[in-house]
Structure 1
Amino acid sequence: MNKGINVNPLIILYNRLRILNPFRKSIPLKTAKDTYQPFLIIGSGRSGTTLLRSMLNQSNEVEIPPESFVLPRILKRYKVYNKLPWNDFLKIILGEFSTHPQFQYWNLNLTNTFAELAGVPKSEQSLFKIIDTLYTSYTTFKNKPGAKWGDKTPLNTYHLTLIDKIVNKPKYINIIRDGRDVVASYLKADLAENIDDACNRWRDAIIAVQQFEKRNSNRVLSIRYEALVTNPENELRKVCDFLEVEFENNMLQNNRNSEALGDSVYSHHENLKKPIDTSSIGKWKSNLSTDQMTKVDTLISTELKKLGYTD
């Protein structure tokens, strides 16, 4: 089980006053010694991001922890607390991870992580150093020391510019899926408030990546969910080439040790226990009513047509 990092409110209050000191140097976002280039799986929820994570995690060269939901939040904390002493800053940033309900699935002891980071030389102290150490600790916990770490949190898709400021030149693997199937999946899993919410989530994710990719095309690889499940080896080889890791046949056995993913306990991830198949392509045809499809056409038909989803 992970252990939280306790932050004394009085210490925070005292140090907030110290923050106002204009002569105190800020802890940097990154330093010249932060050379690791991680990767993030992005795209709308219900687009196959978890499937891709389960495939890549079969490799000995890659490890992606459960969703964290924290990266955009810690930049906000950084802006407020970046002039605190290093150890106090550590407690606040690690506390953001430990207090998020889903972080329990990482099964990390953050007391150990804090102890490791507390001894970091001043020249190496940065926000990215904390992130890198935390994710690297997870790869070690999963018996993959030295593996490339990545992140798979679909909500990060809406904050790419922010995340790009925190993480050191990350690569992005963007998964695109037919928005009609995404909407149907959101509604079936009860993960959206209503059909409008489901449509907006898909459309906003598509637009967010398109805008980001215009400025960072060399760091974004887009693949289609439909291609991933129809010809998984071909698509995985593209991803592996992009990440500069070897393709392994184990990656095609995505349901092997699915319980090791941590968050596979959720009912909306139940398909992770099954082999890869194409049965979820076009499910919107039977799962969405005529009225629902009218709403879908109104809200996302423009983006669907641009992406070629016209049948």
Structure 2
Amino acid sequence: MTAPTEHPRESPEASEAQGRGAEGVADVLALDPIVTVVVPCYRQAHFLTECLESIQAQTLPNWRAIVVDDASPDGGAIAKVVEEIGDPRIRLIRHEENRGLGGSRNTGIRAAETEYVYPLDSDDRITPDCLERLVGELEADPTLDCAYADVQLFGRLTYVLEFPGPPEGRPMVRTEHTIPGAGTMLRKSFWEKVGGYDEADVLRSGREDFEFWVRAFAAGCNAKRLLEPVYEYRILHASMSVNCRRQDDAIAAYIYEKHRALFDETGEANGFLCSWYEQASYANYIVGDRRRAFDLALRSFRKAPSRRRLKQTIKALFPFSLNRAIAEGSLHRAVPFLRYPLRGEERQRPFFVIGVGRSGNTLFRRILTSHSQLHVPPESFVLGACIRKYRAMGSKMNWPDLVSFVFAQFQFHPEFHLFEMDLEPLVTRLSQVAARDRNLAYLFDAFYREHAAQHGKTPLYWGDKTPMNSLDDRVAAGDRPKHIGQGVPQTLERIRKVFPDARFLHIYRDGCDCVLSHLRGGFFASLEDAANRWRHVESQTRRFAERYRSQSLDVRYEDLVSNPREVVEGVCSFLGVPFEEAMLESESNSKALGDVPAWSWHAQVAKPINAKNPGKARRVFTAEERERLQALIGDELAAFGYPPATADPE
């Protein structure tokens, strides 16, 4: 292998240019560098200036950067960019032959003389506080091997890509988007321990990151995740990664054979191979190679049969254009039995507060909507009905009529006036959207964001707090179900079909206190009715949260009011937003919540967070009433970790 050639940018001309472009560089050079940014570059000279300027803008001054020209045909252009930047902290190394992304990173990291290294792709960029924040995490905890953050996409797509890390207790990664390759700061000593990036030819299509992290986590990697993005990943077009995915089956076979003992030991082999076969199948399908797509989908189905894999296998038999047209709804008028889809390609990530009413739901909404990046309007009441009616009428109406029909469900609900919003401009705009956006998820997303905009907010995430969503449709209609608590709320299931990436915040409260609150609010005439409602809703909601554990967070009301900071910080972490102090002092915002000042039973929401009410019911109910309560809800109280209804009041 030919040794790389180094081109240091330390000339007097570069220093002079640097003096013109940034003040104080001489002082910065006197500081001991702590982190090296490694920037591999191949055919990306046109993006390199933006990338390097984002490094120069860092609030952490003592960095160095190494640009690795991987024998790029536009190598002269790469050298010119580095020379024009003229920063003596940036140097250029050129490969005499192409070695791929993994080889380029290895070259740059090997040449680094700092404790920390940070891979950055040449067409991406970082926020000004990126290096400072990640170095700070590694400096604060010597046991950490690396630190990273979720990734902000920009360009063709603009949303936050989450990297949750491997599930707790699992010693390896199985799928992509577990931890980023570019954008993760490493201790150089850990990179050496793992053995650097594998430079095998089969991994050159963009999977060297994944194989590295398989070894890293098998070696006990201790990673720290920051929720607020500091790395910005450029998306040029929606299918930019398709070509590299076409060979995912060969890559999976290579990685599996290399780490067979680890896969067999952890029982991850089938899931890993099936997942990558599916990715390769889809990539081949959308570029027109249906035969290979079908073979790969069938291999995945045979390894682990499922309805989803069978569906993908069947889809591969038909042209992509036909399936795309069906999904977008553009065949709707020509083929009447086709329905507009529930969702499109865009993956929204709203959150839903679930659980029975009178559990602190509205207080929780007040806290959440006080965050600058979150918005929760008044109770919608009609989401479940909208989804059912949209599916029923989606094959019978043209798109403008369907849009009007959906929003009529909101507009003609008796409590919609509490939203304080004008729907007419929204309906007009949505009636004219492109075919690819004609789906229910797009309508809901536009509705909630329009409400936020009309109330002066541009949130990152919107949410919904409607206790009726957690209630089985038959109970909401007044019918008593035959088998209380045996399933999960169907409205929540429907919501998840529309928003498969949604988050669910299950707030629950001691059933005795909840029953008392229902009775005092006049929602039920008898203790039995109130107790049955609490038991039915909470048992089903608990099952729903357990079924979708990775998307659900349990919030205990008693913890929320007694230790609000810790609980709210945990909620922010779960939702992927930074904690804001205003959330704990949000009582002044209650008048702006629409439904709160309208109803007397929300009077407590206007007061500061306090822990006066937990346990109150056991002091108010008589011994005989508590005996009846125990018979009705005792099992469910125990399931939530509460004492029996008959326990002596504190």
Q: TM-score higher than 0.5 here? A: yes
Shift of 1:24: 4.3
Partner of 1:179: 511
Shift of 1:290: 2.7
Asked whether the equivalents of residues 139 and 147 of structure 1 are also in contact (C-alpha less than 8 Å), the reply is no
Secondary structure (helix, strand or coil) at the match of 1:241 reads helix
Partner of 1:132: 445
Q: Which amino acid aligns with 2:642?
A: Y
Partner of 1:64: 376
Partner of 1:302: 635
Shift of 1:275: 0.7
1:109 to 396, 419, 422: 422
Using the alignment, how far apart are the partners of 1:227 and 1:216 within structure 2? 22
Using the alignment, how far apart are the partners of 1:110 and 1:168 within structure 2? 26
Shift of 1:163: 1.8
Shift of 1:22: 6.1
> Are 1:76 and 2:361 an aligned pair?
no
Asked whether the equivalents of residues 254 and 272 of structure 1 are also in contact (C-alpha less than 8 Å), the reply is no
**Deviation sequence 1:38-64 (CA, Å, 0-9, x none):** 000111111111111101111111110
> Are 1:28 and 2:360 an aligned pair?
no
Shift of 1:215: 2.4
> Are 1:209 and 2:546 an aligned pair?
no
Partner of 2:565: 233
Partner of 1:288: 621
Shift of 1:21: 9.1
What TM-score does the superposition give when structure 1 sets the normalisation length? 0.90
1:119 to 432, 440, 446: 432
Secondary structure (helix, strand or coil) at the match of 1:120 reads coil
Using the alignment, how far apart are the partners of 2:529 and 2:403 within structure 1? 36
Q: Which amino acid aligns with 2:376?
A: I
**Deviation sequence 1:98-129 (CA, Å, 0-9, x none):** 01111111111111110110121011100111
Q: Which amino acid aligns with 1:38?
A: P
- Greater RCO (CA < 8 Å, at least 6 residues apart): 1
Q: Which amino acid aligns with 2:381?
A: F
Partner of 1:242: 574
Secondary structure (helix, strand or coil) at the match of 2:546 reads helix
**Deviation sequence 1:8-55 (CA, Å, 0-9, x none):** xxxxxxxxxxx999644311100112x211000111111111111101
Asked whether the equivalents of residues 41 and 172 of structure 1 are also in contact (C-alpha less than 8 Å), the reply is yes
**Deviation sequence 1:231-255 (CA, Å, 0-9, x none):** 0000000100000111111101131
> Are 1:195 and 2:507 an aligned pair?
no
> Are 1:50 and 2:382 an aligned pair?
no
2:462 to 137, 146, 149: 149
CA RMSD between the two structures:
1.7
Asked whether the equivalents of residues 377 and 593 of structure 2 are also in contact (C-alpha less than 8 Å), the reply is yes
Secondary structure (helix, strand or coil) at the match of 1:298 reads helix
Shift of 1:164: 1.4
Whose Rg is larger? 2
> Are 1:87 and 2:419 an aligned pair?
no
Cα 1:80/1:21, change in 2 over 3 Å: farther
Asked whether the equivalents of residues 40 and 171 of structure 1 are also in contact (C-alpha less than 8 Å), the reply is yes
Q: Which amino acid aligns with 2:623?
A: T
Q: Which amino acid aligns with 2:624?
A: D
Asked whether the equivalents of residues 30 and 168 of structure 1 are also in contact (C-alpha less than 8 Å), the reply is no
Partner of 1:12: none
What TM-score does the superposition give when structure 2 sets the normalisation length? 0.44
Using the alignment, how far apart are the partners of 1:126 and 1:239 within structure 2? 30
Structure richer in strand, relative to its length: 2
Single out whichever of 162-171 and 225-234 deviates more from structure 2: 162-171
Cα 1:62/1:241, change in 2 over 3 Å: same
**Deviation sequence 1:218-239 (CA, Å, 0-9, x none):** 0000011000000000000010
> Are 1:97 and 2:429 an aligned pair?
no
Single out whichever of 179-188 and 250-259 deviates more from structure 2: 250-259
Return 5+ residue gaps in structure 1 as ranges. Answer: 1-18
Shift of 1:287: 2.5
Single out whichever of 190-199 and 132-141 deviates more from structure 2: 190-199
* Percent identity between the two aligned chains: 33
Using the alignment, how far apart are the partners of 2:621 and 2:333 within structure 1? 55
Partner of 1:38: 350
Matches within 5 A, 1:238-277: 238-264=570-596, 265-277=598-610
Using the alignment, how far apart are the partners of 2:625 and 2:496 within structure 1? 36
Using the alignment, how far apart are the partners of 2:336 and 2:391 within structure 1? 16
Shift of 1:162: 2.0
Q: Which amino acid aligns with 1:102?
A: E
Asked whether the equivalents of residues 179 and 202 of structure 1 are also in contact (C-alpha less than 8 Å), the reply is yes
Using the alignment, how far apart are the partners of 1:261 and 1:204 within structure 2? 29
Shift of 1:147: 3.4
Using the alignment, how far apart are the partners of 1:100 and 1:167 within structure 2? 23
Secondary structure (helix, strand or coil) at the match of 1:275 reads coil
